[in-house]
Amino acid sequence: MLYIDKHGTVQPVKGDGLEWNAPVHLQHTNDIVIQRREQIQIQHNKGTIDSTPSPCKINAGYRQMSGYLSASKLYYALFNKGIDANDNYLSTIRWGDAQQHHCEDIQEFIEAQGSDEHNIYALTSDHATLQGINLVVMKPEDGKLSAIKFSLLDIYTGSLIVQSKIISLQNKLYVVFTTKDDQNKIHLQLLEIDKTKHTANTYTLHRYGEEPDNAYFSHSANSIGIIDQTLYYIDGYGTVFPFSLRTKSASEAHSLSKYKRTSNLNDEMGYVQGANYYLFRFDSASKVHKIEKYQLSDGALLKELLISNLPPKLSSGVYLYDFQMLTDL
């Protein structure tokens, strides 16, 4: 794990090689929660680390499936556990704060997750039938987890690939996904979910051609945000897709200024924060890693931070797993 300050200086923190989910920023204490196989680590602002045994062991993460509930000041993280003896797909959820940690299994395969101030939301599917999308609403409270499941859409999920996390605005949830039609055309779609009625609508953002690779995949699940009733999603080509939440219509797309995707799909990761999009990447022309700050509304490049003391290749078998902005550049 690498911390990068505003001067581009890198401070490494040694970790493990297995994918154990994304770190969580505890906003009320400014601490960072790190998941380990049998432990929870709390990295404090001054650099000290506290390790606490977890009530459960984990096998692998769903990658960027963690978050923070501001009302209860709790972290959460979702993990892929696999299929049990009865052919039920299991996922593990860990949650807690800096002092207390809890975990519980749920019988779901999770496609996407997100949260608001109070609840955790998971988009789930049936791994056996590949038919149907559901919403699971979870609330951790007093060391226990309540979960309610709602059926959303009766669609085929065999070609469905979720491209973003779930984000919340007032009474609605939003997530971006792609499907493939009979002509192998890729359809980029926005799913809007009503939190109260538990109903869903889909809207088309774009239709790609028959893609030779997965370069259109988003830079990360965090490549989505909302500003002034306009939702923005950024794909792997650096194309910004605006969608008006008032008129329920897509606006003309635009590109990140002077950006071009390289052939290496493991060296770039994005993060929406506020009105801006931050992109960590290796610039093959200048041979240096950098963080670029773009304006979502028009794709303008506002600032870049060079990270000169980070080698082009950290070591064999090392890949970019997560990228988060804890503050502005």
Residue 193 has pLDDT above 60, yes or no: yes
pLDDT interval class at 285 (50, 70, 90): confident
Strands 254-255 and 239-244: antiparallel
Asked if residue 18 has pLDDT above 60, the reply is: no
Give the per-residue pLDDT at 267.
76
Q: Which domains does the chain have, with CATH numbers?
A: 20-260 (2.130.10.10)
User: What is the per-residue pLDDT across 101-113, written as a single tens digit (0 to 9) for each?
Assistant: 999 999 999 999 9
The pLDDT-based confidence of 320 (bands split at 50, 70, 90) is: confident
pLDDT at position 315 is 58
Is pLDDT above 80 for 220? yes
What is the reported pLDDT for 45? 77
pLDDT at 269: 93
Nearest partner of 191 among 181, 179, 180, 177, judged by Cα: 177
Distance CA 300, CA 304 (A): 12
Instruction: Choose the weakest-confidence range: 27-36, 198-207, 228-237.
Output: 27-36
Closest Cα partner for 221 from 2, 108, 66? 66
The b/e string for 265-274 (b: 16+ C-beta within 10 A; e otherwise) is eebbbbbbbe
pLDDT 10s digits, 64-98:
899 999 999 999 999 999 999 999 999 999 999 98
By the 8 A CB rule, do 52 and 40 touch?
Answer: yes
What percent of the chain has a predicted confidence (pLDDT) above 70? Answer: 94
Mean predicted confidence (pLDDT) in 191-203: 98
Q: Cα 62 to the chain's mean position, in Å?
A: 10
How many angstroms separate the CA atoms of 90 and 84, rounded? 7
Rounded to an integer, the average pLDDT of 156-181 is 96
Least confidently predicted of 56-65, 138-147, 289-298: 56-65
Do 173 and 102 contact (CB within 8 A), yes or no? no
| The pLDDT value given to residue 292 | 97
Where does residue 221 rank: exposed (0-12), middle (13-18), buried (19+ CB within 10 A)? Answer: buried
Average pLDDT over the chain, rounded to an integer: 92
Average pLDDT over residues 271-279: 97
